[in-house]
Structure 1
Amino acid sequence: MPQFFLNKRLIILLVSIIILVALIGFSLKEREKLSWAEQFVKDTASWAQTIVSRPASYVAGFFENVKDLQNTYEENKELKGRLDQLAMLEADVQRLKDENEKLQTILDKKGDLSKYKPIQATVIARNPDRWEETLIINKGEKDGLKKDMAVITAGGLIGKVKNTSNLSASVQLLSSTDPANRISAVINEKIYGTIEGYDTKKKLLLLKRIPYDAKIKKGEIVTTSGLGGVFPSGLPVGVVEEVVPDEFGLNQTAYVKPGADFYDIEHVMVAKLSMEKPDLDKLEEEEE
C-alpha cells in the first residue's frame, strides 16, 4: 500500500512537470493572440503598474521641480550678486572719470598762474562749523604753503590759506561769515571792491565798497584784482546777480554767485608765489 502511494505521488509529480514544460513551451511560442488566462494576467499586471507608477511619477516630478526651483534661486542669487558688483564697478568708474575731469580742469588753470607756482592738494577734512567754513588739505609748510595764499578749484577761487603746519594747511572758504575774511576783487577789470561776507540764505558772496556811481549789470564777471601781490589777478570768483546801495548811500554792494561749489570740493590748487632769483651777472653788467 505505501508503495502504491509513493508511485502515485511520483506519477503526479512527473505529469505536473510535463504539463508545466508544455505550458512554458506553449507560452514561448510565437502567437498572434494570447489565451484568456494570459490576457487576464497581463491586463491585471498593467493595471497594477499604472496605479503604482502614476503617484510615483507625480512624486518624482514634484521633487524634480523643487530641485529645479532651488537651482533657479541659486542662479538668480548669483546673477544678482554679479549685477551688484557690476553696478559698484560702474559707479567707481564714473567717480574716477569725474575726478579725472576735475583734476584735468584744475591742471588747465596752470596757464592762468604764470607768475605763480601752483601746488595741487587734496581735501582730507572739513570743519562742520559754518562760522569757520574751513577745509584741511594735505600740503603744508614743507611744500612752501604760507598764510593768505589763494586756493582755487576748477570753478574758480574758493578761499585762502588760513594757517599751516608742516604736512597740512587750513583753507578758509569765501563762504565763511568771519568778518576778517576779505579779498580784493574787480568787476570787468575796472570796478574794484572787496569780498567780505556771505549771504547764507541766498548763497551769494557780498562784494562791498563799490563806488556809488559805478554802473554794474547782472551777469558781469568778478575776478581777483591782484592788489597786494599775494593773490594772482584774474582768478574767476563768480558773476554779479544783483546790486544794492548800502545803508548810507555812499557805496554799493554786489551779490555775486560764486563759480565754485563750496560744498563739493575734493581737489584744489594753491597759488604759491614763485620768487625768481635775480641774475647777479646781469646786475653787475648794468652797474658797470
Structure 2
Amino acid sequence: MQSEENPLKDFFDTWKFKILVGIAVFLVGIMAYAGANGRLTAAPQELLSVAAAPFQKVAAVVSGGVASLWEKYTSIDDVMAENETLKAENAELRQQMVDYDRVKAENQAYKALESIQSQRPEMSYLSSFVIGRDPLDSFYGFTLDRGTLDGVAVNDAVVSDQGYLLGMVVEAEPTSCKVMTILHPNFNAAGVVSRTRDNGIVTGSSEYAADGLCVLTNLARNTLTEKSDQVITTGLGGVFPADLLVGVVQELVPEVSGKSTIAVIKPGTDPRTVRHAFIITSF
C-alpha cells in the first residue's frame, strides 16, 4: 500500500516557496539594517518608494510627452493664425499695387492726351482699360471696363492715348462696353485725306484686318492721294467728331470695278494690341 503524499511537504519543495523565503530574508535584512541605523519606522515608506520608483519614472515620461504634445499643438495654432494674418496683409498689398498700377497707367495716358484736349476742350474723354477680347473675332473687337453707369452710350467713339481712332461702342452694359474696331467691315466713318481733301469712307476689310490695316474707299480713280498722307474723320453724319486722327496711307490699289481707288491705311494705333483707350462721351 502506497503512502499518501504530504501536500505541505510538496509545497516546501516548490520554486514559489523558495521565492517567498528569499523575499522574507530580504525584508528581514532591510528591517535589521534600518533598526541598526535608527530608521526602523521609515522602513515601510522606503520600501514603498523603492517599489514605486519605476512607476514614477514612467509617469514622468508620459507627463512630459503630453506636455510636449500640447505645446506643439498650441504652437501650430499660433503659426496658423499668423499665416492667415500674413495672407490677409499680402492680399491687401496686392490690391494696393493693382490700384497704384491703374492710377499710374491712367496718369501716363492723360499726359499723352493733354495736347489733344487743349485743342479740343469741348470733348469729354473717359479713361478705360481693355478687360477682354474675343479670340474668335477676326477683326479684334475688345471689351472696356466702362459702361452706362459711367456715361457710355452706343456709337461713342473710342480713341487711343495719342488720339487715334480705334473704333466705336456697339454694346453698352452698366459696367462695361464692347468696341467694334476700325478693322471690321461693318465699321463706317466719313474720312478725308488731310492734304488733298479727297473724301471717302473709313472701314475695315477681311483682306487687310489680319495685318492690322483698314481702308479708305470711294476715292476718285485719278486721286492725288499719295503714300504717307494722313487720314482723318470729317464729322459727317454726327457719329464721330471731325478731325480725329485715323492713320497714314500705306498704298493705293484700284477698286475691283476700276471706277475708284482704295487707300490702304495703317492706323496710328494698332487696335489689335491696345490696352488702354479713351471713350469720347460728348463733343
Whether TM-score is above 0.5 comes out as: yes
Name which of 191, 200, 204 aligns with 1:197. Answer: 204
Paired with 2:191 and 2:175, the residues of 1 have a C-alpha distance of 30
The equivalent of 1:211 in structure 2 is 220
Query: How many pairs align?
Result: 181
Name which of 180, 189, 193 aligns with 2:186. Answer: 180
The answer to whether the Cα contact below 8 Å between 2:125 and 2:280 also exists between their aligned partners in 1 is yes
1:105 paired to 2:112: yes
The equivalent of 1:114 in structure 2 is 121
Identity of aligned residues (%): 27
The answer to whether the Cα contact below 8 Å between 1:113 and 1:232 also exists between their aligned partners in 2 is no
The answer to whether the Cα contact below 8 Å between 1:123 and 1:138 also exists between their aligned partners in 2 is yes
Paired with 1:126 and 1:201, the residues of 2 have a C-alpha distance of 15
The equivalent of 2:166 in structure 1 is 158
Q: TM-score w.r.t. structure 1 length?
A: 0.57
Paired with 1:139 and 1:95, the residues of 2 have a C-alpha distance of 14
Paired with 1:229 and 1:109, the residues of 2 have a C-alpha distance of 20
One-letter identity of the residue aligned with 1:212: R
Paired with 1:111 and 1:160, the residues of 2 have a C-alpha distance of 23
1:255 paired to 2:264: yes
The answer to whether the Cα contact below 8 Å between 1:161 and 1:170 also exists between their aligned partners in 2 is yes
The equivalent of 2:138 in structure 1 is 131
Offset at residue 147 of structure 1 (A): 1.2
| Structure-to-structure mapping, 1:13-52, within 5 angstroms | none
The equivalent of 1:238 in structure 2 is 247
Offset at residue 267 of structure 1 (A): 1.6
The equivalent of 2:59 in structure 1 is none
One-letter identity of the residue aligned with 2:182: L
Offset at residue 256 of structure 1 (A): 0.7
CA 1:245–1:132 in structure 2 vs 1: closer, same or farther (change >3 Å)?
Answer: closer
1:145 paired to 2:152: yes
Paired with 2:150 and 2:107, the residues of 1 have a C-alpha distance of 23
Paired with 1:170 and 1:205, the residues of 2 have a C-alpha distance of 19
Name which of 146, 169, 191 aligns with 2:177. Answer: 169
Offset at residue 112 of structure 1 (A): 4.3
Offset at residue 174 of structure 1 (A): 1.3
The answer to whether the Cα contact below 8 Å between 1:211 and 1:252 also exists between their aligned partners in 2 is yes
CA 1:96–1:117 in structure 2 vs 1: closer, same or farther (change >3 Å)?
Answer: closer
Q: Secondary structure at the match of 1:106?
A: helix
CA 1:146–1:95 in structure 2 vs 1: closer, same or farther (change >3 Å)?
Answer: closer
| Structure-to-structure mapping, 1:211-230, within 5 angstroms | 211-230=220-239
The answer to whether the Cα contact below 8 Å between 1:103 and 1:267 also exists between their aligned partners in 2 is no
Name which of 265, 273, 276 aligns with 1:264. Answer: 273
CA 1:188–1:99 in structure 2 vs 1: closer, same or farther (change >3 Å)?
Answer: same
Q: Report Cα offsets for 1:249-275 as digits up to 9, x if no partner.
A: 21110011110022332221111225x
Offset at residue 213 of structure 1 (A): 2.8
CA 1:209–1:167 in structure 2 vs 1: closer, same or farther (change >3 Å)?
Answer: same
Paired with 1:119 and 1:220, the residues of 2 have a C-alpha distance of 29
Q: TM-score w.r.t. structure 2 length?
A: 0.57
Q: Report Cα offsets for 1:75-98 as digits up to 9, x if no partner.
A: xxxxxxxxxxxxxxxxx9999977
